[in-house]
Structure 1
Amino acid sequence: MPPEPESISAAVVQPRVSAPSADIVILSYNSADYLPACIASVAALTSPPLPVIIVDNASRDNSVAVAREACDHSGLTADIIALDRNLGCAGGNNVGWHAGSAEFVIFLNPDTEVTPDFVTELLRPLQNDTTIGITGARIHYPGGYTLQHAGGFIYPNGMTGHFAAGEEDTGAPHQITPRDCDYVTGAGFAIRRSLLDQLNGFDEDYFPAYFEETDLCTRARRLGARIRYVPEARLIHHESVSLTVNSPAFHRLYQRMRIRYCLKNFTLRDWLRGFIPFEARWMLREPAARGHRLEQFRAYGEGLWWRITGKR
Structure 2
Amino acid sequence: MHAQIDEVFEIGGVIIARVRITSDFSRAQFYRCHLEQNGIVLSVAGSQWFEVLPSAPTLKTKKRAGRRVAASVSPSHQSGKAYLVAFGDAAVSQLSRDCPITVMVQADSAEIGRGSVKVSALDVARLQGVSFKSALCSAMQALGAQEIAAILNTSITVEPIENFGQFRVRDAIFANSGLILSAWISELAHRNIHFVTADIRCWVGPSQIARRPLERDTTETELAADCLTVPAVGSIVTAVLTTTGSSVVERLYLVEVDPSGAQATFYGPVTVTGSRSEQEAVRRVQEVFGPIQSLPRPLIQQVYRPLLALPKVMARARRFVFGPPVDETAPLSSIIIPFYGDAFFLNCVFHLQRVMGPGFELVLVVDDPRIWPEVYGRLSGRRSSITLPTTLLQCEENYGYARANNLGFRATKGDVIFLMNSDIMVVDPTVLRDAAETIRARRRAGGPAAIVGFTLLYEDDTIQHIGMEFPQSPLVGNMHLADHPMKGLPLTLYEGESTRKPAGVTGALMALSSGLYQKLEGFDAAYERGDFEDADLCLRAQQIGAEIQLHVRPGLYHLERQSIRRMGDADLREMITYMNCVEFNARWAAILAGQAQSSVETSARPVIRRRPISIRKRSAVQTSSDDLQRAGSRID
TM-score (norm 2): 0.37
Q: Quick check: 2:345–2:422 contact (8 Å CA) kept in 1?
A: yes
| Structure 1 residues 238 and 84: CA distance shift in structure 2, 3 A | same
Structure 2 match to 1:29: 340
TM-fit CA distance, 1:83: 0.2
TM-fit CA distance, 1:70: 5.1
TM-fit CA distance, 1:230: 0.8
Query: Secondary structure at 1:80's aligned position in 2?
Result: strand
TM-fit CA distance, 1:181: 1.2
| Structure 1 residues 35 and 71: CA distance shift in structure 2, 3 A | farther
TM-fit CA distance, 1:71: 5.7
Structure 1 CA distance for aligned equivalents of residues 558 and 433 of structure 2: 19
Structure 1 CA distance for aligned equivalents of residues 344 and 592 of structure 2: 46
Structure 2 match to 1:302: none
Structure 2 CA distance for aligned equivalents of residues 268 and 184 of structure 1: 18
**What are the Cα deviations for residues 45-81 of structure 1, in whole angstroms up to 9, with x where unaligned?**
3442422110100242323333444565454431100
Structure 1 CA distance for aligned equivalents of residues 485 and 571 of structure 2: 24
Q: Quick check: 1:45–1:119 contact (8 Å CA) kept in 2?
A: no
Q: Does 2:471 match 1:155? A: yes
Structure 1 CA distance for aligned equivalents of residues 354 and 552 of structure 2: 20
Structure 1 match to 2:431: 118
Pick the structure with more helix per residue: 1
Task: Structure 1: state its 5+ residue gaps.
Answer: 1-17, 275-287, 290-312
Q: Quick check: 1:121–1:230 contact (8 Å CA) kept in 2?
A: no
TM-score (norm 1): 0.73
TM-fit CA distance, 1:235: 1.4
Aligned partner (choices 50, 59, 64) of residue 376 of structure 2: 64
Task: Structure 2: state its 5+ residue gaps.
Answer: 1-328, 473-478, 598-622, 625-636
Amino acid at match of 1:265: W
Q: Quick check: 2:358–2:388 contact (8 Å CA) kept in 1?
A: no
Structure 2 CA distance for aligned equivalents of residues 112 and 147 of structure 1: 14
Aligned partner (choices 224, 230, 236) of residue 557 of structure 2: 236
| Structure 1 residues 171 and 116: CA distance shift in structure 2, 3 A | farther
Aligned partner (choices 390, 394, 414) of residue 82 of structure 1: 394
**What are the Cα deviations for residues 8-62 of structure 1, in whole angstroms up to 9, with x where unaligned?**
xxxxxxxxxx9643111111112311112x1123213344242211010024232
Q: Which has the higher contact order (CA 8 A, sep 6+)?
A: 1
Query: Secondary structure at 2:368's aligned position in 1?
Result: coil
Structure 2 match to 1:266: 589
Q: Quick check: 1:55–1:80 contact (8 Å CA) kept in 2?
A: yes
Q: What is the number of equivalent residue pairs in this alignment?
A: 254
Structure 1 match to 2:459: 142
Structure 2 match to 1:173: 495
Structure 2 match to 1:213: 534
Structure 2 CA distance for aligned equivalents of residues 164 and 28 of structure 1: 28
Structure 1 CA distance for aligned equivalents of residues 380 and 536 of structure 2: 32
Aligned partner (choices 506, 515, 523) of residue 194 of structure 1: 515
TM-fit CA distance, 1:270: 4.1
Cα-Cα RMSD? 2.8
Structure 2 match to 1:8: none
Amino acid at match of 1:136: G
TM-fit CA distance, 1:158: 2.2
TM-fit CA distance, 1:183: 1.1
Q: Quick check: 1:29–1:57 contact (8 Å CA) kept in 2?
A: yes
| Structure 1 residues 75 and 47: CA distance shift in structure 2, 3 A | closer
Structure 2 match to 1:45: 355
Query: Secondary structure at 2:409's aligned position in 1?
Result: helix
Pick the structure with more strand per residue: 2
Structure 2 CA distance for aligned equivalents of residues 261 and 196 of structure 1: 19
Amino acid at match of 2:463: L
- The sequence identity of aligned pairs, in percent, is 23
Aligned partner (choices 415, 420, 440) of residue 103 of structure 1: 415
Bigger shift: 60-69 or 203-212? 60-69
**What are the Cα deviations for residues 248-274 of structure 1, in whole angstroms up to 9, with x where unaligned?**
233211111111111123338949x98
| Structure 1 residues 132 and 179: CA distance shift in structure 2, 3 A | farther
